[in-house]
Amino acid sequence: MKKNKLLALILAVVITSLCFFPGAASCEKAVCARVKIEIEQELTLERVAFDARLTINNGLAGISLDNLAVNVTVKDEEENDVTDLFSIQVFSLDNISAVDGSDGVDPETTAEVHWLIIPSAGAGGENPAGKVYYVGANLEYEIKGEIQTMKVIPDAVVVKPQPLLTLDYFLPKYVYGDDPFTDEIEAAIPYPLGVRVKNTGHGTVKALTIESGQPVIKENEQGLLIDFKILGSWVNDEPAQKSLLVNFGDIEPGKCSMARWQMITSLMGEFISFEADFTHSDELGGKLTSLIQDTFAHLIIKDVLVDLPGRDNIRDFLAKDGDITRVYGSDTQDEVVTVYLDDSVTVSGTPSSGNPDITLTVPPTGGPLYIKISEPADGKVAVTSVERSDGKSIQPVNFWISKERTGDHNWVPFFNIFDCTSPGEYTVHYNYGGGGANIVVNPRAITFTNVEIGESSSVEVSISNNGTGNLTLEQVSLSTDSYRAFSLV
């Protein structure tokens, strides 16, 4: 019995439904245009399979072995038949066309058959030493019309514990591109399509990769002119090469790994549903041998960092599942988050150039918490720092200004804080002196027409900071947000 390493292919399908408001003449006439896209992803991993070989030598002159049937069996150490724990498929035949009783072996001919034997996810048990199984076979054939039977002496194989994977996909609720309710053409702002691969099994998953296809529009009944594109990828916050392939490498039992694909959408919109599903190649055992336990889809609020002793420095996913907000950790820990909105947050002070600090107070909270309030400075001034009453500074990734569209299609800004095990009081410092940070802005898309190869075009850029402080424009560059548009960044 020969042990082979096998690359198993899984097709993961991410289906998303979005709502856009195309080119309405007025807010009153705005109609939601729904578009469904599909992103096909191929998950590849290395796993163990067994090559079972049977050689049948017919040394009889002028007499064939007819109607040969071979039944491969697997038993455990207690002689129990456990064949149903394995996928057993013929993958190679030499000098015989089948071993199901429909063919035989010609006189003075040697036939050879190979089976691919793949254990199911639980066949290896939990002991690192693995479990021993015995693979044998029962043969039945005819010689001159007389039925003969034979048993092949079993061969021992050791099946090590298998990994078992759970895939959590994450996508933001709001995506930002051109706003149909403004005269300007806003550039697309990149957003993440995230995935967390968690190994809940007892074996290490080897050489795991996920390769994503570009989004494909599956439904667009109103014929909306819209583009979706994936630009690049990251694994555990480290930039991957500029491709759609993310390489997770090995993931040990009880561990997980995070990846993100950066996407853009040409129009501003809202994801209203998000599903993830997968299929397993039948040639490799189908559902029986699949190492994918579950797939889940979540609408992400933001990438955050669980800033606690003993935790890693890889960003986590703050997401809302129905009425419950959770943080999905890069170290496999998932925790329900306590949420504080306007009616449960005390705001002291109003930010101004003369007094740029305000204080936010919530009840002392153990575990993770999320504060979301109407933005005190109306989203027009950057927040540069947030400090707790115990002196701890909040990580910049854990406070931000966001915006959401209301029913009348106006934008409302919000100030957000994510934290863990908090005394409940925060000092928020606004920067009225210049130099922005952590504020959502809309870069403007500028169209250059008829620019020939080798020629150049120019644009005048002006910047302001509410009339206070000094500003310096250090760099303006062109980025290819889509094949039809560029944006200044």
* Alpha carbon distance 231, 242 (integer Å): 8
8 Å CB contact between 488 and 461: yes
pLDDT greater than 70 at residue 347: yes
8 Å CB contact between 434 and 467: no
pLDDT (tens digit per residue) in 246-268? 999 999 999 999 999 988 988 88
pLDDT (tens digit per residue) in 90-122? 999 999 999 999 999 999 999 999 999 999 989
* Alpha carbon distance 36, 29 (integer Å): 22
* Alpha carbon distance 111, 96 (integer Å): 6
**How much is the average pLDDT of 2-25?**
64
pTM confidence score:
0.81
**Alpha carbon 343 to its chain's center:** 35
* Alpha carbon distance 292, 198 (integer Å): 10
Which pLDDT belongs to residue 47? 85
8 Å CB contact between 291 and 163: yes
**How much is the average pLDDT of 461-489?**
42
Tokens of 36: 């469904």
Which pLDDT belongs to residue 480? 40
Check residues 240 and 241 and name the one with the higher pLDDT. 240
**Alpha carbon 290 to its chain's center:** 18
pLDDT (tens digit per residue) in 22-56? 654 444 555 677 888 888 899 988 888 999 999 99
Which pLDDT belongs to residue 34? 84
| Domains in the chain with CATH codes | 31-47+162-329 (no CATH), 50-159 (2.60.40), 438-450+458-488 (no CATH)
8 Å CB contact between 392 and 427: no
Q: How confident is residue 10, by pLDDT bands cut at 50, 70 and 90?
A: low
pLDDT (tens digit per residue) in 214-231? 888 888 877 777 888 888
**How much is the average pLDDT of 347-360?**
95
pLDDT (tens digit per residue) in 317-344? 999 999 999 999 999 999 999 999 999 9
Which pLDDT belongs to residue 82? 98
* Alpha carbon distance 290, 321 (integer Å): 26
Query: First and final CA of the chain: distance in angstroms?
Result: 60
**How much is the average pLDDT of 355-361?**
96
8 Å CB contact between 86 and 123: yes
